[in-house]
Structure 1
Amino acid sequence: MVCGAVGSLVAVGLGVYGRVHEPTFFAINLAGFSSGLAVKSWLATVAFLLVLVQLGSAMVMYGRIRSIAPGPWVAALHRWSGRVAVLVTVPVAVHCLYALGFQTGSMRTLLHSLFGCFFYGTFVTKMLLLQRSHVPRWSLPLLGGMVFTAMTALWLTSSVWFFTTSGLTF
């Protein structure tokens, strides 16, 4: 209950900040990239690929994929791919919040803003539940699925949109 409340506060807090903050339309750019949106799109794509690793490793750990012998390496792969995925999303989130804010100008940008808040709120809830000892067995896969769904929606409403309108540019 407390974990869900904290996650909800994170999601709502990000949304409120993004909505009341005056967008600067510039936040990050890395050498070699043509724009902040290109950086954001490629980093989000890396995060999405890592989330696919998360999905596969979770399915092995929960016995849904039996062709791979689960060992301690699968749990380590799951933890580290998740850590790196979240670290990669941080500059993306900073760019979204600081440069663009919570956008409602189109259905795509509204959904993207909502899923961004949902992603971090759900992620925080899942991380807090990992620290609890008496968590129902179904809760972590459910939250993991929600994080996966949110990341997929974020990637589709940002990176895929960017690549289809601008090409696979750096």
Structure 2
Amino acid sequence: MDAKSGSTGTAVVDDGAGAARGALLLLVFAVAGALVALSLGVYGKVHEPTGRPLALLVGFTSLTPMKAWLATAAVVLVIFQVVSALWMYGRLPVKRQAPGYLSQLHRWSGSIAFVATLPVAYHCLWSLGYSTFDTRTALHSLFGCAFYGAFTTKMLALRANKMPNWALPVSGGLLFSLLVGAWATAALWYFTQSGVPLH
């Protein structure tokens, strides 16, 4: 039958066209995320690092502990995000259905985690710059910039229609991996050093 008949064949054509549009849109979002990551990296590289904090949160006496604890808080919240998402989508080996309020906690934990990363990223770029003097700092700088690019891609995809089914799980997994990578190459490394101040 032809495309105007409203037959099953038409639905297949429409679904195929919708999937193609969704994939193209996801590619556009990925490019936008890549541009964000690249822009942050370029700024961090060309900016002359100040070596001092713009401001310290109450309770902290130096820059590095503040960054380490804020990044750790963000990672803890993101781990909760991953677990709550798996529970809501029935991917955990538990029989109890996820409570209705869990979706709100999931959203709020993600928002708070992102806000916690902002002072860290700002001081990484403004105070310290994009560092490549050894493997650890090079990876940290790469993971940090890529995290915000992946965040941009995920947030755009989250609000778009007809995304591929794998788009959000993959972008969320990438976002989680990049944050953990940035944390492990800075905060975790810092906490494992002997004699460092913790506040």
Assess same fold via TM > 0.5. yes
Q: For each residue in 1:9-38, what CA deviation from the matched residue of structure 2 results, as whole angstroms up to 9, or x when unmatched?
A: 100000000000000011232232231001
Given the alignment of the two structures, is residue 20 of structure 1 paired with residue 46 of structure 2, yes or no?
yes
Which residue does 1:60 correspond to in 2? 87
How many residue pairs match? The answer is 170
Aligned to 2:70: 43
2: CA distance, partners of 1:70 / 1:30? 36
Q: Partners of 2:59 and 2:108 in 1: how far apart?
A: 27
Q: CA deviation at 1:143?
A: 0.5
Residue correspondence of structure 1 range 69-80 to structure 2 within 5 A: 69-80=97-108
SS in 2 for 1:72: coil
Matches within 5 A, 1:1-170: 1-27=27-53, 28-67=55-94, 68-165=96-193, 166-167=195-196, 169-170=198-199
Task: Give the C-alpha shift of residue 167 in structure 1.
Answer: 4.5
CA RMSD of aligned residues (A): 1.3
Instruction: Determine if contact 1:60/1:74 at 8 Å carries over to the other structure.
Output: no
Could you tell me how far apart the structure 2 residues matched to 1:62 and 1:138 are? 13
CA deviation profile, 1:75-105 (whole Å, cap 9, x unmatched): 1111110000000000000010000110001
The TM-score normalised by the length of structure 2 is: 0.82
* Distance apart, 1:62 and its partner CA: 2.1
Which letter does structure 1 place at the counterpart of 2:157? L
**Aligned-residue offset at 1:66:** 4.4
Rounded to whole Å, the distance in 1 between the matches of 2:112 and 2:70 is 11
Tell me the CA shift for residue 154 of structure 1: 1.0
Amino acid at match of 1:21: H
Displacement over 4 Å in runs of 4+? none
Counterpart in the other structure of 2:5: none
Instruction: Name the residue aligned to 2:9.
Output: none
TM-score normalized with structure 1 length: 0.95
- The residue that corresponds to 2:17 in the other structure is none
C-alpha distance in 1, partners of 2:40/2:117? 14
DSSP 3-state at the match of 2:162: coil
The structure whose Rg is larger is: 2
* Unaligned segments of structure 1, at least 5 residues: none
Amino acid aligned to 1:36: L
2:16 corresponding residue in structure 1: none
Could you tell me how far 1:168 is from its partner in structure 2?
6.6
